[in-house]
Amino acid sequence: MDISRHVQVVSEEGRLLARAAEEAGPDAKVPTCPDWEVRDLLRHTGMVHRWAAAFITERRTEFRLGGQLPDLDGAALLDWFREGHATLVDTLTTAPPDVECWAFLPSPSPLAFWARRQANETTVHRVDAEAARGGTPSPVGVEFAVDGIEELLLGFHAREKSQVRSAIPRVLRVRATDAAAEWSWTVHLSEGSPIAERGATAAADCEVSGQAARLYLALWNRLPFPEVTGDRSLAALWRQKSGIVMR
């Protein structure tokens, strides 16, 4: 997926998130993030949107912590979220392709990184908002889901911060059943950071599989794994240890 498509996802998913949050109300519990109410979700995501945009607009080349969460609630909090979301979309749309700023995962460019990262950030939290509201969730496209799985496995969990580790070397296969045949991944687990490769490059001890959108959300711990074969303890290990630390 290219930058423009990722920016389109940021735009669409942010609007869906705001709509679901408004319908749910600020007091609604977020079942996919048990410690949160909808107000916490809006404050967090709105802060992240502003944090991401600032790296681009201010040409920040070093890591900085996100800003303070606002002491807002109700309609004022929704307005604040929508304002930050609109600023992020505008920033990603108008920034020069060769803008130099800090990024924390491999990418063709910093702008490509931030567009992709915020597309996934906003989509996952849109799912959270819709879970709080209840009802039929909005779909996640196959192409985007596959791209998001790539970011998670080959990006986030390739870092030293990943806690998905095994004292005994094991192999986890991830397979999207509704995507092209090459969209499977082999994740080598050991005492070090996971090493993920595209394709079925080694025999697997466990395979998690399903439609790309459900698999994407399961890997982000928003849904159960659609199907698990082999040693189920590896799927359980993922659920227990795969929480993301931003940096």
pLDDT at 247 exceeding the cut of 70: no
Task: Give the pLDDT mean for 120-139.
Answer: 98
Furthest-apart CA pair in the chain: how many Å?
A: 53
- Work out the pLDDT band at 245, boundaries 50, 70, 90: low
Distance (Å, whole) CA 115 – CA 89: 9
| 150-180 tens-digit pLDDT | 999 999 999 999 999 999 999 999 999 997 7
Give me the percent of the chain exceeding a pLDDT of 90: 95
**Which of 133-157 are b and which e, b meaning 16 or more Cβ less than 10 Å from the residue's Cβ?**
beeebeebbbebbbbbbbbbbbbbb
Task: Give the pLDDT mean for 3-26.
Answer: 98
Distance (Å, whole) CA 214 – CA 223: 7
CATH of 142-241, picked from 3.40.1360.10, 3.30.2320.50, 3.30.1050.10, 2.40.100.20, is: 3.30.1050.10
| 44-83 tens-digit pLDDT | 999 999 999 999 999 999 999 888 899 999 999 999 999 9
CATH architecture for segment(s) 3-133: Up-down Bundle (1.20)
Whole-model pTM above 0.75? yes
Those residues whose C-beta lies under 8 Å from the C-beta of residue 122, and which sit 6 or more positions away, are 9, 10, 13, 14, 17, 45, 49, 85
pLDDT at 181: 62
Instruction: Please compute Rg for the chain using Cα positions.
Output: 18
Task: Give the pLDDT mean for 6-16.
Answer: 98
Under a CB-based contact definition with an 8 Å cutoff, are residues 165 and 146 in contact?
Answer: no
Q: Which two tokens stand for residue 212?
A: 């790309």
Domain residue spans of the chain: 3-133, 142-241
What is the CB-side half-sphere exposure of residue 230 using CA atoms within 13 A? Answer: 15
Those residues whose C-beta lies under 8 Å from the C-beta of residue 190, and which sit 6 or more positions away, are 165, 166, 169, 170
Mean pLDDT of the chain: 96
pLDDT at 179: 78
Handedness of CA 35, 15, 11, 62 (dihedral sign): negative
pLDDT at 67: 85
Give me the percent of the chain exceeding a pLDDT of 70: 98
pLDDT at 182 exceeding the cut of 80: no
Distance (Å, whole) CA 235 – CA 231: 8
